Chain A
Amino acid sequence: GIQVEQSPPDLILQEGANSTLRCNFSDSVNNLQWFHQNPWGQLINLFYIPSGTKQNGRLSATTVATERYSLLYISSSQTTDSGVYFCAVVDSGNTPLVFGKGTRLSVIA
């Protein structure tokens, strides 16, 4: 099956710093989503982005499908951005999302 690799696995930032999280996948995809899992376990949808670029406030994402990677940008980070960021993909049809191992982000004041 499709493989999803995220980097870095852990990241510590000073409040106000910017960061880039990366997601590589091993095959073509027809769906790619980024999530933030908060400390209570809730997965929050950040982006549905099988290709192209999207922005939402301080967050933006870019997926280059032909090169099989996606990037999540966090600008001016805040302590509330802390948590785990997951990238997940669907390779074909109605198959479920396959998750990467996540990037654990800690933003310190």
Chain B
Amino acid sequence: GAVVSQHPSRVICKSGTSVKIECRSLDFQATTMFWYRQFPKQSLMLMATSNEGSKATYEQGVEKDKFLINHASLTLSTLTVTSAHPEDSSFYICSARTVRGSYNEQFFGPGTRLTVL
């Protein structure tokens, strides 16, 4: 299957700092990447859809100025949590989609656990 990497896997930061998370599709090109957030013992919640070369589409309730997404190339998307606060602590997971005709499977990175002190 296709491989998606995510870096860093874990980050601890002070309140008020910004944190950048990188997501890469290693062996395929992804015109569309997605960012999800997961709280303990809950399901994945979509935050935004990122298309290469265009602005991200954010889900309702997700602050676009707090969660900056850049999809700079067909293999790289970044999520920057700006001025992080303790309530932003969560598990962030990126996903990339392979599209071949009607086949459109999504693959997921290993996630980034963010703790804001």
A contact set with B: CB distance below 8 Å: 30-31, 33, 35, 40-43, 45, 48, 86, 88, 90, 94, 96-102, 104
Could you tell me if A96 and B105 are in contact, using CB atoms closer than 8 angstroms?
no
Could you tell me if B104 and A43 are in contact, using CB atoms closer than 8 angstroms?
no
Known: A30-B102, A41-B113, A97-B95. A35 touches B108 (CB 8 A): yes
A-B contact count (CB 8 A): 52
Known: A42-B111, A45-B1. A33 touches B105 (CB 8 A): yes
Could you tell me if A96 and B110 are in contact, using CB atoms closer than 8 angstroms?
no
B contact set with A: CB distance below 8 Å: 1, 32, 34, 38, 41-44, 46, 49, 91, 93, 95, 97, 99, 102-108, 110-111, 113
Cα separation A19 to B111 with both chains bound (whole Å)? 28
Interface of B is mostly: strand
Known: A31-B105, A96-B49. A86 touches B44 (CB 8 A): yes
Known: A97-B95, A102-B43. A40 touches B105 (CB 8 A): no
